[in-house]
Structure 1
């Protein structure tokens, strides 16, 4: 699993969302590095990490747990956005002693309906479109996606192949095959009673009032912060506020930082 590391101090592990990579959380990593050793992961099938056939939350969590063991970390704080948040929650439920504190950005421990049809259509169009430039890829994507921010986010994962055509760095076919698995809820009866903070984008519908009961069943100490004027990519829309919220939570709740 590919990762980058910065800073020095108690370990904090950052995990990105679907179609992303570790560098998506670069602003947060830089803000935490003066106090913590920050590990930014490329999750399996994303970024420069290897590709995995089993993309269930349990399997992804097991891979990250094995990586944590390889680094010799007896305990760490975890922060995950979207898919990364689900993986982080699964790790905390699989092995509560491993997680000192948990921050979950704009995702809940529930199953979600499919809602990436347009994104997959855009990604497929580029993958089969024999694009000679990033502009070619962007033009194809605009036939399926209207949100310029989403297009530019996805284009961050575009790379030029040896044949001269552009394609995706992430494992598109693997992500499509495992899409139902990553949309699932954590399948755990165990409880993580440590400190947890859910951070919600005020304009996002990923965390809803009806999710509260399930959140507290699994994470009884969970708190919630809402960032007004933000959608699902809250860490990119208001990075200073997001970084401050995460930093304050870790300073208060992460004993490794004392």
Structure 2
């Protein structure tokens, strides 16, 4: 699958993968700082952003998508970073193609299995009647019945677009809803990337816990971990300066 991506900056290539319900746009503010030192590839993963939709949605497919992208761009070796679902894709790519990844950065996700925990978000998104709403405020009002936090609603509604027929989702909501268990799947036993790896964890997030460190070491023996203070799961949005600082330190 030919993924949509935005390329900016100059220097060594750094590929960034967004998380579930997100898009390449989530990383624009980070990119504005890092493009001074790196050629950035901000990627829309399948069923997200402006990339194609498909009934096939799992990490094997997303790894193949990324491989097709880097091959088409002639990238032999590169830095790779992913957040949440994108972090799982990045980890899976690194263990399958270790010769292609110079350094790996994983933002607020561990290689373990995560139980389904997006039911409320999915119920809220599916409750929005696209053929009935007249404005984004109408969509927000419906979503607010399920999600009280305005910041989360604003993030989710970035995937609401408009065409000549009215409002449409950029995300492939039916497939994501049907196959949501795919996003929580773990790496397979024995899969290993021995290159330098940085895990960035939100200090207020529960996605990476002390109990995960043994599992992380098993898959990524050359890992280091940094906890970003005053940040939850969306650490790059909550503490961008700290995240940029850690990325620069690790890649240099």
TM-score scaled to structure 2, two decimals? 0.96
Aligned to 1:112: 114
Aligned to 1:237: 238
Q: For 1:124 and 1:161, how far apart are their aligned partners in 2? A: 19
CA RMSD, Structure 1 to Structure 2 (Å): 1.2
Unaligned runs of 5+ in 1: 252-258
Q: For 1:127 and 1:55, how far apart are their aligned partners in 2? A: 24
CA shift for structure 1 position 38: 0.4
After superposition, what is the alpha-carbon deviation per residue over 1:144-191, rounded to whole angstroms, capped at 9, x for unaligned? 001111001011111123223x23111101212221112100225231
After superposition, what is the alpha-carbon deviation per residue over 1:201-255, rounded to whole angstroms, capped at 9, x for unaligned? 011000011111110000001110001111100000011111111111111xxxx
When residues 45 and 188 of structure 1 are mapped into structure 2, their CA distance, relative to the original with a 3 A threshold, is farther
C-alpha contact 1:198 1:223 (8 A) present in aligned 2: yes
C-alpha contact 1:54 1:178 (8 A) present in aligned 2: no
Q: SS at 2:115's partner residue? A: coil
Q: Does 1:132 align with 2:134?
A: yes
Q: Which moved more, 1:50-59 or 1:195-204?
A: 50-59
Aligned to 1:73: 75
Aligned to 1:172: 173
Unaligned runs of 5+ in 2: none
Q: SS at 1:207's partner residue? A: coil
Q: SS at 1:19's partner residue? A: coil
Q: For 1:72 and 1:240, how far apart are their aligned partners in 2? A: 31
Q: For 2:120 and 2:114, how far apart are their aligned partners in 1? A: 16
CA shift for structure 1 position 127: 4.3
Aligned to 1:2: 4
Q: SS at 1:194's partner residue? A: coil
Q: Which moved more, 1:181-190 or 1:65-74?
A: 181-190
Aligned to 1:94: 96
